[in-house]
Chains A and B, each alone.
Chain A
Amino acid sequence: MIARLALTGLLATALPAQAAEPLRAERLWVREAPPVAKVLAAYGRLCNDTDADIVIEGVAAEGFARAEVHRTVEKDGRTSMRHLRSLTVSANDCVALEPGGLHVMLFDPAGPLRAGDTVSFIFSLAGRDPVTLAVPVERQQDHHDHHQHGHGHEH
């Protein structure tokens, strides 16, 4: 009896309650690109499940030399990209990354990625531990329905 209680006590301390990650990915995906492409994009929603704003200060992706958050900017018929050094996800809110808008830009893949592969992303957060998220590689064609309505919202 005492032995069993002791064992239960030991197990209780060995298995801490699972802490929820402050930053959660909702349908995050790396868009499959031509095998020759040196720069890829990732889209989806990044959600903040806490009551305080989260500031993403950097991102790294396994198998890529470099990753950055960018916003496509359309002005006077010209397209350019703005590198965002930080991205704030408001408390209890989500930020949408969509074609034509915000995206994670992934530079120099070690090898070509195909739909079905998974890429590990590490988001560096201000004042918090980094968050690691597993992101699948998917084809644009399988997301067509979501992007019928244009290029997403600006800002």
Chain B
Amino acid sequence: MNIRALLLVVVAVIAAIGGVIAGVTLFSPEPPPQFHAGTLLSAPRPLPEFELRSTENAPFTRADLGGDWTLVFFGFTHCPDVCPNTLFMLDRVVDQLRERKGVAPRVLFVSVDAERDSPETIRAYLDYFDPAFIGATGDRANLDRITQAMSVAYELQPLEQGYDVIHSSTIVLIGPDAAVHGFFTPPLHADAIAADVAQLLGRS
């Protein structure tokens, strides 16, 4: 083989190697997200159809959870400690993500206490924490359907005066596909939740 042919082969091999390296670095997939505070499901679970009432007294259905990431929390407005704690915390999660990623998930507060929490009451309650928080409530059948689908529980327990509401303190992460993607269980810390959710925002 003469020098020229040899040179051509060397250039071709270098080009081929260069092409492979370029291909690997440009087209390799992003590493999958890894949750440290919460649980990320390996396969998202689609939600069933349901109908709640929004704080504007309009139907709130599965379709309303599509298109965006949503953090869902179940509680009731007669809750003095945990519910305000969680809503303050979710407000900080949203602020942190907006700052870091320029975008943040929606926050949905579902009251499991439809008897005392009208849509108007829930709206007034949520406005104190963040007017952008979405609220909803519904009848027992729909609340049962959505809580079961999101693997959270609630129970109304009679007291000497009135009743207490026992509820899951879990925060459920719903994807733009209106499916359950993950959970955050206590202890709930804004920084840790924001760090987990940040990995999902802005991905294709």
The reply to whether the CB of B47 lies closer than 8 angstroms to some CB of chain A is: no
Total chain A interface residues with beta-carbon distance under 8 A: 29
- Most chain B CB within 10 A, of A35, A74, A79, A150, is at A79
Which of B81, B166, B170 contacts A41 (CB under 8 A)? B81
The reply to whether the CB of A77 lies closer than 8 angstroms to some CB of chain B is: yes
Inter-subunit contact A38/B168 (CB<8 Å): no
B133-167 interface (Cβ within 8 A of A) = 153, 157, 159, 161, 164, 166-167
Which of A79, A140, A150 contacts B84 (CB under 8 A)? A140
Which of B128, B166, B168, B185 contacts A34 (CB under 8 A)? B128
Which B residue sits closest to A81, measured CB to CB? B164
- Chain B nearest CB: distance from A27 CB in Å? 17
Total chain B interface residues with beta-carbon distance under 8 A: 30
Inter-subunit contact B166/A80 (CB<8 Å): yes
CA distance A77 to B84 in the complex (A): 17
Which B residue sits closest to A150, measured CB to CB? B187
The reply to whether the CB of A137 lies closer than 8 angstroms to some CB of chain B is: no
The reply to whether the CB of B78 lies closer than 8 angstroms to some CB of chain A is: yes
Inter-subunit contact A106/B80 (CB<8 Å): yes
Residues 2-37 of chain A: 1 if any B CB is under 8 Å from the residue's CB, otherwise 0? 000000000000000000000000000001011111
Given contacts A77-B170, A77-B185, A78-B168, contact A34 B124 (CB under 8 A): yes
CA distance A90 to B96 in the complex (A): 41
Q: Which of A54-62, A97-105, A116-124 is the contact stretch?
A: A97-105
- Chain A nearest CB: distance from B168 CB in Å? 5
B99-148 interface (Cβ within 8 A of A) = 121, 124-129
The reply to whether the CB of A115 lies closer than 8 angstroms to some CB of chain B is: no
Inter-subunit contact B186/A151 (CB<8 Å): yes
The reply to whether the CB of A132 lies closer than 8 angstroms to some CB of chain B is: no
Which B residue sits closest to A80, measured CB to CB? B166
Inter-subunit contact A78/B187 (CB<8 Å): no
Query: Which residues of chain B are near A150, meaning CB under 8 Å?
Result: 187, 189
CA distance A66 to B125 in the complex (A): 21
Query: Which residues of chain B are near A52, meaning CB under 8 Å?
Result: none
The reply to whether the CB of B70 lies closer than 8 angstroms to some CB of chain A is: no
User: 15 more A-B contacts (CB under 8 A) besides A78-B168, A141-B88?
Assistant: A33-B80, A33-B84, A34-B128, A34-B129, A36-B124, A38-B78, A39-B80, A70-B80, A74-B186, A78-B169, A79-B82, A79-B167, A105-B80, A151-B85, A151-B186
Would you list 18 pairs from A and B whose C-beta atoms are within 8 A, ordered by A residue? A31-B84, A34-B77, A37-B77, A37-B80, A39-B78, A41-B81, A72-B81, A74-B169, A74-B186, A78-B153, A78-B167, A79-B168, A79-B169, A80-B157, A81-B164, A100-B81, A100-B186, A151-B187
